[in-house]
Amino acid sequence: MTDYLVNMEVTPEVKAFFDPATNTISYVVKDPASDAVAIIDSVMDIEYAAGRITYENADEIIAYVQDNNLKVEWLIETHVHADHLSAAPYIQSKLGGKIGIGENIKVVQDTFGKVFNEGTEFQRDGSQFDKLFKDGDRYQIGEMTASAMHTPGHTPACMVHVMGNVAFVGDTLFMPDSGSARADFPGGDAGVLYDSIQRVLTLPEEMRLFMCHDYGPNGRDIKWETTVGAEKQHNIHVGHGHTRADFIRFRTERDAQLAVPTLIIPSLQVNMRAGEVPKDKDGVPMLKVPLNAL
């Protein structure tokens, strides 16, 4: 078992930004000892029917960083999202920082390079990103040391990022009353997801967990923060008393009923390129729609 860096004495400042169009929560997380920050899972806006991309969400984060004189060191993608487009390159162009994702991005690029029939010019080695995290990798945000935990199952490249007494779980977990994310995308695996969640739940009970998504089940308000202890006790899919076999059965049945995410086609093409929009042979920004391939 890899030794993740847990330092419950370090309390980073976490600012959340909720995108109601995709139910995504992006974060600016600040080292308590300096002005250094990481931005987690930013969102680029798209009006897909019109083929129009805009930056309202990203500009809000940029304004927050500038207004508070913060220094962006990292732009972290917890995984290749299938439901929204990353704004990491746009924010990087304004504020700097390194774009990082799990090293299994190579697997995701290989899978979807085929789905989208990308030519040999599409590199499948993760080189579009500035940093590929391995399980247990440590990195600095100012004076704060963060670490990356590989948590496959939802996708092969999923990572949870632990920073002091908080962790950003991506889609590895949802709020306790929402359970877990689907595991039926190419490269997903319900049993592997269950095992990854169990690893997350070995973190200290008081550790604060921040979600990438929340959909406000049963009419409750949107929430994005919980704790390891609350997930262990109350998570409706993996909490107290749910076995691995139960989880696999439930998850498989549930996933078979879920619709394909509305933005999966633009999201994958952009996010597997670290948030860059693909271009056609003449250099014009262009997206494809592969037929009967997903």
Could you list the residues that contact Fe ion (CB under 5 A)?
81, 171
Q: Which is nearer to Fe ion, 204 or 217 (CB)?
A: 217
Q: Which is nearer to Fe ion, 12 or 188 (CB)?
A: 188
Q: Which is nearer to Fe ion, 183 or 228 (CB)?
A: 183
Location of structure tokens 């308590």: 32
Strand ranges in the chain using DSSP code E only, listed in sequence order: 13-19, 24-30, 36-40, 45-47, 52-54, 71-76, 98-102, 131-133, 138-141, 144-150, 159-163, 166-170, 208-211, 225-227
Where does residue 64 rank: exposed (0-12), middle (13-18), buried (19+ CB within 10 A)? middle
* Min dist. Cβ of residue 71 to Fe ion (A): 28
* Min dist. Cβ of residue 188 to Fe ion (A): 10
Residue number of the CB atom closest to Fe ion: 171
* Min dist. Cβ of residue 82 to Fe ion (A): 6
* Min dist. Cβ of residue 294 to Fe ion (A): 15
Residue 12 Cα distances to 31, 85, 159, 233, 294, angstroms: 5, 26, 19, 25, 39
Where does residue 222 rank: exposed (0-12), middle (13-18), buried (19+ CB within 10 A)? middle
Residue 139 Cα distances to 10, 136, 199, 212, angstroms: 15, 10, 20, 21
Nearest to 43 by CA among 9, 5, 75: 75
* Min dist. Cβ of residue 161 to Fe ion (A): 15
Q: Which is nearer to Fe ion, 19 or 171 (CB)?
A: 171
Q: Which is nearer to Fe ion, 81 or 124 (CB)?
A: 81
* Min dist. Cβ of residue 267 to Fe ion (A): 9
Q: Which is nearer to Fe ion, 81 or 161 (CB)?
A: 81
